[in-house]
A and B are shown apart, each in its own frame.
Chain A
Amino acid sequence: MTVQTVIEAVRDGMQEEMRRDQSVFIMGEDIGARGGVFLATDGFVGEFGEDRVIDTPLAESSIAGIALGAAMNGMRPIAEIEFADFIWPTVNQIVGEAARARYGTLGQMCVPMVLRAPQGGGVRGGLYHSQSVEAIFAHTPGLKVVTPSTPYDAKGLLKSAIRDDDPVVFLEYKRTYRLVRGEVPDEEYTVPLGVADVKLPGDDITVITYGLMVHHCIEAARIIGNEGVSVEVIDLRTIRPLDNDVILASVEKTGKVLIVHEDTKLLGVGGEVSAIIAEHAFDYLDAPIVRLAGPEIPAMPFSPTLEAAFLIDTEKVSAAIRNLARY
């Protein structure tokens, strides 16, 4: 075991897969000599050469489209979008094309590509360096969407994503990159896609979350635990496909659910999780299903006071859990 940050785990995950499989390559802006704006590919161009570590022009739609074409022709591209805020031009190639390539060719084409992007706020990124984009991709059948929260998960899930034969949108919370440290095995491992993780077991209330928020929820759960309420924290890890089994099992045990995400509320992942529960675990519910999510503004404002007002923190989560416990 080694203690690493999330960004180190991401880097190692890619590096191991590029060493393991010649068909894996990476393309994106500033990933070469610069090593990526977050240094996710630090040293890569030295080890793998410019052919497998391609500094692209600033042109996101084609980054996605070219990766898609390369994937259909036998390669396993990792396409990096510098910030998730700049991912919208890829929607046409990812949601429109990559997601349907297998379905629309009766399984003849497969698209083993990963679209990586750092997302989320808490880094003074303002309206255009803080966006959460998981909901839009997670709505699309044919895609897989992953949002790791820890170094262990980030590396293990990324390796699975690279080996997966379907297009995976891999969204890393940039706030966790250097903030979150954790143990990572020295030996080879992967974490399967589509499996949620009980990050903290508990009996009275289920908190379902993912990404950066996992850490606030765990902290809040510990605080509330000291107040005599036992909270289970579920990290979805993969947003599509959702792990209904883990979600429903927990709800059937606790009967009370709080869903937490940083992304805005309406038509967010929380809505879907709530609907799954309301349809399949209705008889077990003891209280309304509550969502705690980003406010209904387009994204996170820049000034520190405004950003703080947007962001969900341990305190806000604790307050929501206490409310629910009282119901």
Chain B
Amino acid sequence: MLIDWLAIAPEIALTVTALLVLFADLNLRGDAKQLVAPIAGLGTVVAIVFTAILWGDERATFGGMFVVNEYAVVFKLLFLGALLAILGISWRFFAEGRYYQGEYYFLLLTSFVGMIIMPSARDLLLLFVALETVSIPAFIMAGMRKRSLYSSEAALKFFLIGVLSVALMLFGISLVYGFTGTTDLAGIAAAIAAAGDVEPLLLAAVMLVVVGFGFKISAVPFHFWAPDTYAGSPLPVAAMLAVASKAAGFAGLLAIAFIAFEPLAEFWAPVLGVIAILTMTLGNLIALQQRDLIRLLAYSSVAQAGYMLIPFGLARPGATVVNDAAVQAVLFYLIAYAVMNIGAFGVAIAVHRRTGIRSLRDYAGLAQQSPLMAMGMTVFLLSLGGAPPTVGLWAKFAIVQAALTDVTMFAVVLMVFLVVNSVIAFFYYLKVVKTMWMDQAHEGMPALEPGFNLSLVVIVLMVGTVVLGVLPGLISDATSLTSLVAAG
């Protein structure tokens, strides 16, 4: 069997980097251990280069199990870009906190290896292994503040809920296999389409599979781990969980929903639509009462997942235009979400690391301490809410656009919920913004020293948020070309 090495070059590059990091960590001592971060960064850049080279290609290897097309490339670039940003916000955090740096970066990279395989995987088995590769290092990273009860608790909750949902998913997968006799996504779709009659058990199996990804994307009612885990983990890990891990979940969900179970869309679409409604409403409503910024961001990210689930509710079997639009909307939203949410976490890290502050009220007067950080947070939060001229607006726009491609009553219902929720969300986003800018600062707050890397990341993301807000074409030109099933 011939292997298309170029197709998996990014994965290989990242894997090699991970191993290099591990090796370097063994040989470095003391402060020198900080150097693993740049090594990881370099490796990521190499992977990005390889991925960029693949742009425009249509490749399939490992017997069609692994596919590279524009969709996959966009996703991979999203993951690798997020990785770079997370490396940037991690550096000082882990260097100063006396963590196991080398191991952290190794685990992080391993997790991202799983992620970048995700959008290319066209086989349930590969998807499963990739998902676990994303998850297992994440379980450990969540517990990396070893002496912290919060961190241990975060890891335990994350782990237990994660394994439970994986078990449910596996049960579902086993049933799907029983129905179709294959784990190949396209094969499953073909078998289901051929079977004609739809057994309730098959639908149940589909739902069980959805649960596994629902956990990753923290959809209601699989979201319970998210706020606790984000709050307890080291903050860069929380950022990674909130963005990259969630994106990976979406990558998997897109693949199974729009390839494997596409013939069943008429059944699962309404269910996912309802989940979307529940997710965004519950996430937003609970976020209203949060006083801890990280928990607020956590619930906000739950709500954001709800928005991203809306396009799933629009899917219809055989309706290529609608389904493509839905996939593109999700993809667009994910990219926008990555930009703004990592940025928000970046600012949170900058403030928290220096002052230990995470309570909302203590963000008062941040604007006087650090206008850059306050400005950054403002832009990110407004973007999360969807105010112009930020990329968040276009993310919502993309979803509405998908919903209106071919209007159904259900789509209208979803839109109404989207609108109402967008407004609710602004309640708490504005609360933060207001606190930062309009309230009086506390006495004796130390000045923020975010450090070069973090500042750079925040600035880049902030500029990105605004630039993409003005020229969303930079993303949408790419996403609109992508079609999930082009070579699948």
The answer to whether A and B interact is: no
